[in-house]
């Protein structure tokens, strides 16, 4: 555990030095230490910052630990761009070693509370956050995490959206920052001829979703079989990410809730290095 934490610290520290990010002179602990505590907390302690802080204190990995209020304030002063750019560094590593140039796209739901408590939920309060999990035929209240992964399950692009927004709509918001010649597999929700043609002509990326039976552009049987098999890797990745979640993700604000989800994805990504 300590070795992995040191590796996370070194990667984060090198990244912040590269972008010339500097902390306030009066800061008791660095932003590198804050980020490392949070990512380690997501990986080992179910996102519990207090347990993670205690571990770092007990093992003398950080000499002057902040109290709960100070730590949360420091955490939320770190710009969102720092987190997204850090993920982008990991993304470049994953893309460079993905020799097959095959990717998969899908989404998974994250509930902010049980349905019976929706009326008392202060994090989200709009009906657009009530989504449907078709496979389970049940509703949830929260967000959907839309993701493009390598077929080895390594996260490449991530978008958070309200639970009721469809996969097809969010799919159009991806940057498709993939190598030219890549293949992107998806389920039946991602059939969009116009988008397929546009991405193919501009980026030379083949979008290959599972075809609905009533569509004209059907794949060859061998290709259809490969798509069904290859895209299962992203479902495995989702299972591994959600296995890090505690029974209830504690957060007070929407920003805090989404940051915790993002850190679970970051922690999962670091473990793949």
Give 215-271 pLDDT, tens digit per residue. Answer: 999 999 999 999 999 999 999 999 999 999 999 999 999 999 999 999 999 999 999
| Euclidean distance between CA atoms 176 and 238, whole angstroms | 20
| Euclidean distance between CA atoms 4 and 16, whole angstroms | 18
Q: What is the mean pLDDT of residues 200-220?
A: 96
Q: Which of 45-54, 80-89, 117-126, 253-262 is predicted least confidently?
A: 117-126
Does 134 score more than 90 pLDDT? no
Does 171 score more than 90 pLDDT? yes
Q: What is the pLDDT of residues 68-84, one digit of tens each?
A: 999 999 999 999 999 99
pLDDT score, position 201: 98
pLDDT score, position 135: 85
The confidence band for 214, taking pLDDT boundaries of 50, 70 and 90, is very high
Q: What is the mean pLDDT of the chain?
A: 96
36 within 8 A of 55, measured Cβ to Cβ: no
- Helix H or strand E encompassing 258: helix 254-271
Query: How would you classify the pairing of strands 206-209 and 183-186?
Result: parallel
Q: What is the mean pLDDT of residues 4-22?
A: 96
Query: How would you classify the pairing of strands 102-113 and 183-186?
Result: parallel
pLDDT score, position 190: 97
Q: What is the mean pLDDT of residues 171-188?
A: 97
Does 114 score more than 90 pLDDT? no
The confidence band for 193, taking pLDDT boundaries of 50, 70 and 90, is very high
pLDDT score, position 115: 86
pLDDT score, position 116: 87
The confidence band for 65, taking pLDDT boundaries of 50, 70 and 90, is very high
Instruction: Quickly tell me which residue has 């380690």 as its tokens.
Output: 40
In Å, how far are 137, 156, 249 from 12, measured between CA atoms?
41, 18, 24
Instruction: Give me the percent of the chain exceeding a pLDDT of 70.
Output: 100
Instruction: Give me the percent of the chain exceeding a pLDDT of 90.
Output: 92
Does 62 score more than 90 pLDDT? yes
- Model confidence, pTM: 0.96
The confidence band for 136, taking pLDDT boundaries of 50, 70 and 90, is confident
104 within 8 A of 187, measured Cβ to Cβ: no
Greater model confidence, 239 or 1:
239
| Euclidean distance between CA atoms 122 and 87, whole angstroms | 29
């Amino acid at each position: 555990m300590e070795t992995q934490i040191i590796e996370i610290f070194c990667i984060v520290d090198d990244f912040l030095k590269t972008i010339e990010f500097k902390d306030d002179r009066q800061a008791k602990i660095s932003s590198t230490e804050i980020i490392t505590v949070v990512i380690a907390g997501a990986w080992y302690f179910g996102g519990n910052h207090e347990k993670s802080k205690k571990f770092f204190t007990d093992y003398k990995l950080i000499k002057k630990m902040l109290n709960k209020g100070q730590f949360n304030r420091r955490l939320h002063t770190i710009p969102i761009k720092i987190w997204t750019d850090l993920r982008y560094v990991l993304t470049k590593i994953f893309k460079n070693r993905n020799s097959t140039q095959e990717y998969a796209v899908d989404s998974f739901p994250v509930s902010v509370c049980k349905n019976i408590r929706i009326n008392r939920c202060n994090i989200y309060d709009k009906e657009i956050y009530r989504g449907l999990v078709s496979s389970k035929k049940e509703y949830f209240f929260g967000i959907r995490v839309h993701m493009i992964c390598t077929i080895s399950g390594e996260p490449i692009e991530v978008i958070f959206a309200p639970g009721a927004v469809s996969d097809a709509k969010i799919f159009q918001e991806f940057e498709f920052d993939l190598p030219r010649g890549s293949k992107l597999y998806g389920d039946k929700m991602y059939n969009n001829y116009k988008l397929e043609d546009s991405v193919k002509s501009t980026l030379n990326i083949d979008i290959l979703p599972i075809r609905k039976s009533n569509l004209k552009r059907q794949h060859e049987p061998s290709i259809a079989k490969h798509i069904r098999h290859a895209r299962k890797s992203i479902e495995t990745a989702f299972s591994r990410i959600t296995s890090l979640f505690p029974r209830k993700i504690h957060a007070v604000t929407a920003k805090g809730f989404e940051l915790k989800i993002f850190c679970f994805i970051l922690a999962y990504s670091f473990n793949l290095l």
